[in-house]
Amino acid sequence: LSRGLGDVYKRQAPYIQQHFVLWKEIITMRILVTDGMDKTAMAQLREMGHEVVEQFYEPDQLGKALRDFDVVVVRSKTKVRANHIDEAKGSQLKLIIRGGVGVDNIDVKYAEANGIAVKNTPRASSQSVAELAMGHMFACARYISDAGYTMRNGEWKKKEYGKGIELQGKTLGIVGFGRIGQHLGVMAKAIGMKVVAFDIFHIPGIEEQLGIPYVEMDELLAKSDFISVHAPAVDGGALISAENIAKMKDGVVVINTSRGTNVDEAALLAALESGKVRAAGLDVYADEPATNKALYSHPMVSCTPHIGAATNEAQKRIGQEIVEIIAAM
């Protein structure tokens, strides 16, 4: 009997496969892109038969709008909270995709509890964010940000900015040793820095592979000349707090390209004023757009407006990962 059924299947297989392909081709979805996306990736989704709508919705309009889409793609501007998910319950919404690494602008557990999957693109922007962190390290070491600003104002402060420091030979402490932290560690070692890392999760074999040891947080704080934060937003207070700043070397440089809430901005500003912290490189802020003018306008702060993943290469990779996620649905 099984042999007979097998023969029937072999004869019918081409027809079954043809109808299966046609069935897959007619499954199309409505996809909402709220914060922009690589144009090539959007074209790919449309070629796959999907309807792609590029539109930003204000928070009070977002929940109702989500009901009309199968997939929503967000970056960092759009926040998908529990009230939006409540409004979208029972609708066609199946998936929320965060184009980037962190998903703290989405109430992930609440979405998943209500049958809505949440995905992100963790690999795509790691190199870009790591390179920006390295750029801030150079800017802080050599006064690049403030020197450029004063020159554009017609000032020539050669003497004042003649007290820079080299990165070679200094110790970099990386707080959060995921993909971004690892990329930064490799670059830092390449220019002659010593690198140590702290993370609550230890990746087996990574210390030997990269030649970068894990240390406890207090040891990292005490021995690092530069500290770069690459952890997700944490509960229970800032990683760079007044208490932890007190444990750092005098003249330390602090870099944050992770989440603004990982740094106590008032404590950091006080440390910059006292000289405990030599300089800071910031791409993220507790409030965005940034409102703490005293901090971001400080002469020893190198600041950028949350552009860690904003490179042409990263945007293309993010777009491609989004296409792959949707194609796999």
Count of other CB atoms within 10 angstroms of residue 202: 11
Q: Which positions are catalytic?
A: 259, 288, 306
Cα angle 54-180-146, degrees, rounded to a multiple of 5: 85
At a CB cut-off of 8 Å and minimum separation 6, what does 124 contact? 99, 100, 309, 314, 317, 318, 320, 321
What does the alpha-carbon distance between residue 29 and residue 41 come to, in Å, rounded to a whole number?
15
Helices and strands in the chain: count of H runs, count of E runs: 14, 11
Inter-residue contact 252 to 267 (CB < 8 Å):
no
**What residues contact 149, with CB distance under 8 A and at least 6 apart?**
none
Residue type, 31: I
Instruction: Report d(CA 101, CA 119) in Å as an integer.
Output: 10
